[in-house]
Amino acid sequence: MKELKRSLGAIGLACAMVCGGSSALAQAAPEITAQTLIDRAKIEDMLTRYMTELGHSTLEGYVAYYTDDAELVMGGKSVKGRAAILDDYKAIRAAGGTLRAQAYAFNTLLSNPLITVHGDRATVQLTFTEVITDTEKSAPRPLVQGREYDELARVNGQWLFTKRQVVSGRASPVDWRP
């Protein structure tokens, strides 16, 4: 019986090592330096500002966070270039009506950011939750929740999206590499 327990324990440990080692997130992260910490803080600040402006800013101000040749993927739809992204956001805002504009409060909460910096490039994986409050006395309610898989580049000292993928559900994009 003791030998059986040892064998099962060894098999369990081997399975955990194989399964855990196969995850992209379980791979060794790049070395953390003072510069990568500064870059991560700048990226987190950029993401917070970007999400804060959602529904509160002009669309032109919103798409300023994208490079000229960036790609935006939402669900099965993909648009490329800052001008096309602006047109897409205009269509989304027009289709969405005035729900956000008429709300007492609208906020986008970010959670679980996984930021990996590779010099002048970075990747970000995060969860977002849009929360709306209809009136001053009503309780906040979640509007939508999803996940983002972003690729960023440092351009003239600023971090900008080169590719932003917004998904729902648990599956990550096929081409995602943190």
CB-neighbour burial class of residue 143 (10 A; exposed 0-12, middle 13-18, buried 19+): middle
Segment 140-148 shows an average pLDDT of 92
Ordered by where they begin, the domains of the chain are 32-167 (3.10.450.50)
- The 10s digit of each residue's pLDDT in 47-95 is 999 988 876 778 888 899 999 999 999 888 999 999 999 998 888 877 7
How many residues does the structure list for the chain?
A: 178
Other beta carbons less than 10 A from residue 78's beta carbon: 13
- The 10s digit of each residue's pLDDT in 85-102 is 999 888 887 776 666 777
